[in-house]
Every structure is written in structure tokens, then in C-alpha cells.
Structure 1
Amino acid sequence: MKLVFCGTPLFAVPSLKAVLAAGHEVALVLTQPDKPAGRGMALRPSSVKQFALEQGLAVAQPDKLRNNVEIESQLREIAPDAICVVAYGKLIPTWMLELPRFGNINVHGSLLPKYRGAAPIQWAVANGEAETGVTTMLLNEGLDTGDMLLERRLAIPTTATSAELFPQLSEVGASALVETLAGLEAGTIQRQKQDDSEATLAPQLTREDGNANPAERNALCIFNRWRGFQPWPGAYTMLRGKRFILKELSLVSEVKVSAGTLEVRDGKLLMGTSDGSALELLEVQLEGKPAMPGGQFARDFQVKSGERVG
């Protein structure tokens, strides 16, 4: 097929690599404009742009797609058979949805209709799901509401973080995309409508999502949210009027600690949660200070059992 590929972060690179390896022609790659990053805030190209240029592909980085006459003219001239959309980060306008004969095919990191939205992998882990996966779907004007094409499932280990799942799911998605394109061309894929009554949302993460709130959440809930919100926004609470970052956690069985308090026990730093269950704080960082093991922090900062957090 002749394709246009839309993608931005590292998650999308395996999909672009896979369609090229499968022999498809990628006539144009659309990706987000370069963004300032690092201490010097120098402009940094997206992972997809870097890979595309290495492959000698044409790249465009429009600020907007809606009412973009130049991009619309360029895509109409290309006349792609399909447009592949993988973590692009922009809404696809109607003219673009209607352009290719096989539609706009999206690789979405969840088992739809669960976890529609910007952060499906993170929220699946944060909510303690035992399974996630990838769904290829035809985009429409709704938020991840289009017809499903293929689904691939992946178990979530009980200690896995979303950061660990991203590369696995990106490879699963790449394989599913290639299979989806082949099935569409052969006419062997059956479109399946989503059951909107089973839909859940996975909104864009905010810094506040990282607030552990140990007085109101139990240990398992906090642990799952910490796993899900890696590498950002992670998990934190407040200690002595400063942000107290919980960099590494583990669940502690059969140990009770008062909700919203710290306890030092056998050289370990524990945090009590809403139901009295506890987390061991393996690595922590007080705002403005270096990160360190929890036990060392308890000694260096003279933490007393019963000191409150939150």
C-alpha cells in the first residue's frame, strides 16, 4: 500500500519500522513540531522524525491539520491507500478521515472500549488491571470510538510499571498494524463496533494524579498508581511542608501502620495508608534534596514513628 504515517513518540517507531519492513510505501510522515527540551531548552525532534529522516522519508510537522490547505493538498496529491496513526498527538480532521480508501488506522494501547483517551497504558496499570493489550481501529470523529479491527492481549505482571509495558506494547502494536493492513487489503478483517456502555476513559495525566494521598487510599491502590504513573507523574506526598517523592515502593504484608503516618521499623521506612496497610519506602526524595534509600532518609532526617505525611 501507499501510506501516510502519523506518529510522534518512541512508542510509534516500531510501527513505522514494521510497515516499511513489510514492503509498504510510506509517502509522508507527519509528526509533532520539534519541542524544546533539556537545560538549554534546545529544540529536539520527535523519535519518529529522527527515525524517518534516517530512512530517507519525507517528513512534515504541521502545527495544525484542520483548515491546513498546504497539508490537505499534499495528502490529496499522494492519495494514500491508508493513513496509519500511532500516538500522533493531534486530532484527525474530517477531510483526512475521508481521504484514504482503507481509512485512518489507529494503534491504540488498550483493549477497547476500555481506556479510551490519551493515557490508556498508564491508567490500566494504575487501576490494577491484570491484562491490557493493543487494538487497531478505524478512526472516526469521536474519542477512540471507531470500529475495532484487531485485538492483541498482554498480561500485566503484578509488579510491572507502565514504563516497562510501553516497549512491549509498541512491538505488539507494530505487528498488529502490519496484520491489519494485510487483512484490509485481502478483505479478511471484520469490523466490529464498540460497546459504548462498557467504555472507560483514560485522560491525560496531570501532576496531581501523582498525589498518593495515603490518608484516603490503601496501600495496594497507591502501589498500583505508582506503577502506572511511571515515569511521570510518579507518586508523592507532603512531609514537613515539602514535596516528598516516593521513588521506589513495595507492598508490606501483615504490617499495620496508622493512616497517613511514617514508621521506622527494623531500619526500614514504612508509610501507613487509609486502611492501616503499609508500604515500604525503598527510595525517597525530599524536595530540594538528593534521592536516597528510605532507611538512610529516616536516619539522616531523624524521622520519628508517627510523623505525619500528606
Structure 2
Amino acid sequence: MRLIFAGTPDFASLALQSIIAAGHEVALVLTQPDRASGRGMALRASPVKELALASGIAVLQPSSLKKDFSAQEHIRTLGAEAMVVAAYGLILPQTVLDMPTFGCINIHASLLPRWRGAAPVQRAILAGDAVTGVSIMQMEAGLDSGPLLLCESLPIAAEDTAATLTDRLALLGGRLIVDALAGLPLPPQAQAEGGVTYAAKIDKAEAALDWRLPAAQLARCVRAFNPFPGASCAVDGTLLKVWRATAIAGHGQPGEILAAERSAIVVACGEGALRLDELQKPGGKRLAAAQFLVGTPIAAGSRCALPVT
């Protein structure tokens, strides 16, 4: 099948890899413009662009498909049978949605209509969902509201972070999109009218741990914000990243450090306590709590700052 692929991050590159391996002709890859990143702020290509170039596929990087009429015309001339979209990050105007024979097909990392929007993986973990999955959806103008072509569920493990769960969903998405393309045209199924939730984009301000919340909720925050933006807390004026944490029994004033010895840093929460298992100082490496305490002594009885609300 002659396809166009639109995507940007690693999640999308795994889908593209599966499509290439299945023998489809990818006539064009759309991905977001190169972004400055790293300490040197050098321009870096997206994972999808890197894979496309390595596979000899033409790449187009418009900053907006709504305003770039030359990009729209180029897409039109390719005569694609379908466009596959996965975490592209740009809005597709109706004119583009209508161009391919079978329209535009989205790989979405949730069981729609739950968690429509930009951050379905993180929001599922934050909410304490036990199950998520991948939906293959026929795209329309509404936000992730189109009819479903295929769906498959995936359990969320107790230790899953946004990174590990995204990786597993990406593999599932790659398999499902190949199945969907092989079966086109598939009978569309309208999404359920009830149970719609929205996965708003993650705001960095959300990453500040609020010790007034229950420990179980804060443990989910740590998992959901790993790797981005990284849960954080301030101790004695130093902002620390918390990469792994466990909810345990404990009691004290929210933010009070109940223990900081051997391999344990335990902080009282609104309900229970949070054991900080892996931390990072600004400019430092991620360290297990035992190693962290060797270079950064913390006294029991000191406090983690409460975020301003």
C-alpha cells in the first residue's frame, strides 16, 4: 500500500519501523521541524526523521499544515492510499484528512474515548488506571473523536513509568497498525458517548510534589513524570528530581523527613509516607538513595518544601 506517515517521537518511529517491515511503500514522512536540545542546544532531528532518512524515505517538516499550502499540494500529488499518524504534534486540516483514499488513520495510546488528547500515557498512570491500550482511529476534525477501527488493551504494571508504558504501547501500536492496513477498508465503530476524558498536555508545574497529597498519589506522580518533566521537591533550598519512589506506612506533618539513613529517605505525606528510592541533584547523576546520602547528608526532622498553591 502506498502511504504517507506523520509522526515525531520514539513512539511513532516504532510504528514506522513496523510499517516498513511489513513491505508498505512509504512515499513521504511528515515530522516536526528539528528542535534545539542538550547542553549545547544543537538542532536535533526527531526519531522519525532519523529512521526515514536511514530508510531512504523523503521527509517534509512544515511548521504548520494548516498554513503551508505548498506542503498540502505536495501531499495531494503523491496519491497516497492512506496517511498513518502517530504522535505527530501538528493539526491536520480537513483538506489533508480528505486526501488519501482511505483517509488518515491515527495510532492513539489509550482506549478511546478515555484519555483523548496530548498525554494519555501520563494521565492514565496519574489516575491510577489498571488498564490502558491502543486505539486505531479514523481521523476527523474533532480531537481524537473519530470512529475506531481496531483496539487492544494492555495492563498497567505497578512499576510502570511513562517511559516503560510508552515503550510497550508503541510495540502494540506497531502491530495493530499493520493489522489495520492489511484489513482496509475496516468497518468503523463509533466511540462510546459516555466515559470521555481528556489528557491535557503535561505542565512542568505539575511535577512539584505536594506533600499534602496521599503517598499513593505521589508515587503515581513520580512514575507518570518519568522521564518528563521529572517529579521534583525542594530540600533545604535545593531542588531535587525524584525518579523512583514507593508509598509506605508512616505519619508526620506533610513534607517532614521521617528518616534519612542507610538506604531510606522517607517523607511524610497527607496520608502515609513516600520512600524516595532514586534522586538527582542539579547537574548530577541519578543515584539510589543510599549513594545519594553519601554525598548529600539529609537530617531526619528537616522538611521538604510545600509547593505554593
Whether TM-score is above 0.5 comes out as yes
Aligned mates of 1:71, 1:290 — CA distance in 2: 43
| Per-residue deviation, residues 17-72 of structure 1 (Å, max 9, x unmatched) | 22222222111111111111222222111111111111111111111111322112
Which whole-Å deviations, capped at 9, do the CAs of 1:100-123 have from their partners, x for residues lacking one? 121100000001111111111111
CA contact under 8 A between 2:19 and 2:178: conserved in structure 1? yes
Alpha-carbon distance, 1:85 to partner: 0.3
Q: Are the aligned partners of 2:223 and 2:244 in contact in 1 as well (CA < 8 Å)? A: no
Trace 1:104-143 onto structure 2 (pairs within 5 A).
Answer: 104-143=104-143
Using the alignment, how far apart are the partners of 2:131 and 2:43 within structure 1?
Answer: 37
Amino acid at match of 2:100: P
Amino acid at match of 2:178: V
1:31 aligned partner, one-letter code: T
1:197 aligns with 2:198: no
Structure 1 residue aligned with 2:27: 27
Structure 1 241/144 Cα, relative in aligned 2: closer, same or farther at 3 Å?
A: same
Instruction: Map Cα deviations across residues 212-267 of structure 1 (whole Å, 9 max, x no partner).
Output: 1012x111100011111110112112222332322321222x43343221112663
**In structure 2, what is the equivalent of residue 233 of structure 1?**
229
Q: Which residue of 2 aligns with 1:68?
A: 68
* CA separation of 1:256 and 1:299: change in aligned 2, threshold 3 A: farther
Partners of 2:198 and 2:107 lie apart in 1 by: 17
- 1:1-310 aligned at under 5 Å gives the runs 1-184=1-184, 187=185, 189-215=186-212, 217-252=213-248, 254-264=249-259, 267=262, 268-275=264-271, 277-287=272-282, 292-295=287-290, 301-309=296-304, 310=306
What is the percent sequence identity of the aligned residues? 37
8 Å Cα contact 1:126/1:226 also seen in 2: no
Distance 1:279 1:200 in 2: 28
Q: Secondary structure at the match of 1:176?
A: helix
Give 1:145 shift. Answer: 0.9
Residue 289 of structure 1 and its aligned partner are, at CA, apart by 6.2
- The 3-state SS of whatever aligns with 1:233 is coil
SS of residue matched to 1:198: coil
Q: Which runs of 5+ in 2 are unaligned?
A: none
Shift of 1:139: 1.0
Structure 1: which amino acid aligns with 2:241? I
Question: Are the counterparts in 2 of residues 132 and 155 from structure 1 also a CA contact under 8 Å?
Answer: yes
- How high is the TM-score relative to the length of structure 2? 0.92
CA shift at 1:288, angstroms?
6.2
**Count of matched residue pairs:** 304
When residues 295 and 51 of structure 1 are mapped into structure 2, their CA distance, relative to the original with a 3 A threshold, is closer
